Amino acid sequence: MGYQHVRTDGSAIELPVGKVVCVGRNYVAHAQELNNPVPTEPLLFMKPSTALVPMGEPVRVPQGHGSVHFETELAILIGEPLSQVGEQAAQHAIAGIGLALDLTLREVQDKLKQKGHPWEIAKAFDGSCPLSPFLTPACVPDLGDVQVRLTVDGEVRQDGNSAQMITPILKLLSYISQWFTLQPGDVVLTGTPAGVGELQPGSDLRVEIVDLLRVDTRAV
């Protein structure tokens, strides 16, 4: 069965399932923890729709390719086409707000980066984007103050606020739309706060938008 976007009440969202556009290094503290320079403009990459899996199902950790890192990110579901738009149009097009894990084969990525090659296989493999149900936009009054948290086996590992983003959400959507048309059903991942680490099979994961959305799942 294919992936389908859903609301937090479990109802299906009547949108197709499209691409996922992601931004790297959108929080200063995360760029620094991986010894990466802080970019001067958003660093974009994509995952195909085949990367999407429901976050509530056990998260499969790929084996045999080195460490698999979790990156907990605020996810924006797009409801209307966006091409070369400003921030106001971007805001109007938001159909949902949720959470994603941007799973990353860190050693594979490091090797590709050293060679100056694209990261694709380290970031866009099947199942690399567990995605939560989506809140309606009205549930999130201020996109500039959203607290995202990951707890692994009872220990808080990532805890960041959208206020810390280098490129805020609406500016990011506008920027993306200058390069790639965002289609209804596409998802934008807005970058990870500091605290990324290795995902171990057998770990219990709690992924949250604090006070608004919580997904309990398990790595296998």
Give the interface with Zn ion as residue ranges (CB under 5 A): 71, 102, 192
Rounded CA gap, 23 and 172, in Å?
Answer: 8
CB of 150 to Zn ion, least distance (A): 12
CB of 113 to Zn ion, least distance (A): 14
Which residue's CB atom is positioned nearest to Zn ion?
A: 102
Q: Which is nearer to Zn ion, 39 or 81 (CB)?
A: 39
Q: Which is nearer to Zn ion, 71 or 208 (CB)?
A: 71
CB of 72 to Zn ion, least distance (A): 9
- The kind and range of the H/E element at 215 are strand 213-218
User: How far is the CA of 99 from the CAs of 54, 55, 210, in angstroms?
Assistant: 11, 9, 11
Chain centre distance of CA 11? 21
CB of 163 to Zn ion, least distance (A): 18
Q: Which is nearer to Zn ion, 85 or 101 (CB)?
A: 101
Q: Which is nearer to Zn ion, 32 or 84 (CB)?
A: 32
CB of 178 to Zn ion, least distance (A): 20
Question: Mapped to the 3 state alphabet, what secondary structure does 73-136 carry?
Answer: EEEEEECCCECCCCHHHHHHCEEEEEEEECCEEHHHHHHHHHHCCCCHHHHCCCCCEEECCEEC
**Apex CA 183: angle with CA 178 and CA 189, to 5°?**
75
Q: Which is nearer to Zn ion, 24 or 185 (CB)?
A: 24
